[in-house]
Structure 1
């Protein structure tokens, strides 16, 4: 079974985005070699004319790669971070310094902090029903898959509420965000041979039984495209993958990251964003930030342009040491930074004025975002090549509008030229 909860803002429509109930009833069994062994009915929560949520029969796919992990979203599952309560963004909006440190650990709900607490009570704070039935989660409360699913649901709720706070209420004709998506996905079934081959190419030793490799995967991811060119685009994705081998043992690993794509360079913004991520990494290992920062710069690179997609952040995959508990805690720390590393930047630039020329430059930079996602993003490519995939989820990361200009090159000495120089020569921000 697989299902996705999608939260989308789109100013081109006039209807209210409503979170729709997800049906968990199975509707048959697919080919045992398909990525997901069972179907489920899914209601997609998005802005549609009339406010209606179409019912879809969908088969999701899941794939872990050094660059992306497809969890029924655009090549990777999309989810939100836990712990961003209205008090966090409210304090920012109320006039606190935009770069005042927000200790998310102290802002997370008590339910999220006490993982052994009542799961049903904890689920009341989520933006949508859990994909896995609550009774099943309670029975498996000590398993990593359950703990990760609850964490990504926390993350979704926190980030959605933070976005609502900065946008002035529930999502309806967003004032700040032109297009925004937040997905949570939980999938399981048997790996296809193509997926297993991809994983083996990265050094995975996979031993199936009767040609089957049962897997379970989940993740949270978001892409936010603001209207104002002085507010950067942000992307994050955190995921967990486990495979059961023939002897019953499980291979597992985590992956993810957070990165920023500004239209104009603001040194203070860049330093704040990277420092927040570094502080989360440093709690676990001093090598994490420099290694994962470099990995991020190398991955989000548009080779045919000779440019990075943005100013980076952190990115990692196949993380399975020193032990499962420590890696989970590290991933949770990273997820908890999504609100404090991004929302202060949004609040800082909320009232910035901009010219038509600056808006045009934003459209050109969005074109680069499209190029990377369609040409290089492994998750997008894999999703589009997988029969039965939900194309709208795969392409959810793309901006609502973009443009391309023939042989475009900004004038030397301009802020646009400064931005391009940074993208051609990635730098250390802290």
Structure 2
């Protein structure tokens, strides 16, 4: 099989890249190890930055999002029983975030791919990349019938997640990996209940962190900080609700609306970056290149930024033979990635209970919570990062007087 761009992975990064390329008449083939049903039904968080919302709308796949999404103009931060709202809409000149689950984004992009007649193959295995430093890189794999297939292309986009063969195809001697493992995990639940708050609630408590999010008017998503050694068996439903009531409690006796728990899982917390994000004719995008803790809500949005940058560089190449942006893809992406990692680390450090903190450390953490929720400058910085930094292809330093 011959195509211009071979794309490994049918997550948000791979699907959006194919969608952007198709709109410019550039051919691509997507391969995915999971089934279509599995990726469309795997429920994942979805806090979309303004940039991501605009991208989906501008490329014709935002109709369902605009009907079903929930638009938030701020967030609430709780600590010491206090409730303090950060008005991101006001502080960022009218921007907001949209709650629209990742699997719904995937459904929209798959539908667009099918409508455009694009090639997409599910349930593949034994994916292998070769010839990355030649003019004809190659992807071989076994199709769902167990037969060997091969894709010869101009470029390969590795959008295949953290455990990707794509990243492992970059030689170890030139691949530098940065990682931080956090000393806690998140226990997440889906509950059949109406929302208890109009916007996301981030709660710091001496007992640990909690988050009240939402999925639909009938389904809520809630999280608890737990020990990384914990298992689901350690957390019966009543214990979960007890801890949520405690950690989300306020001085004004706010009430948490409870309901049947229909799903629960434990998610480890880590930060990860691969540098470089390219090698020869291979380009990494999304989780194959970087992982952020979910506290900053940046994972899907970083993937969308990566593929916009990559698509723009590929447009240059196919329109005029210009390879400048392709050669600088990793450099351009990593500036944004490190800023997102910094913000996600900051939010994680700000809100979680750190068991190794001294009494002095803990009081500094409370002072930071007080500062960010009472200082306009601090709240504006948090808001600017939360709704999403602008997508910049070149460095734009501030003027210094």
TM range (shorter): under 0.3
Q: Which protein is richer in strand relative to its size?
A: 2
When normalised by structure 1's length, the TM-score is: 0.21
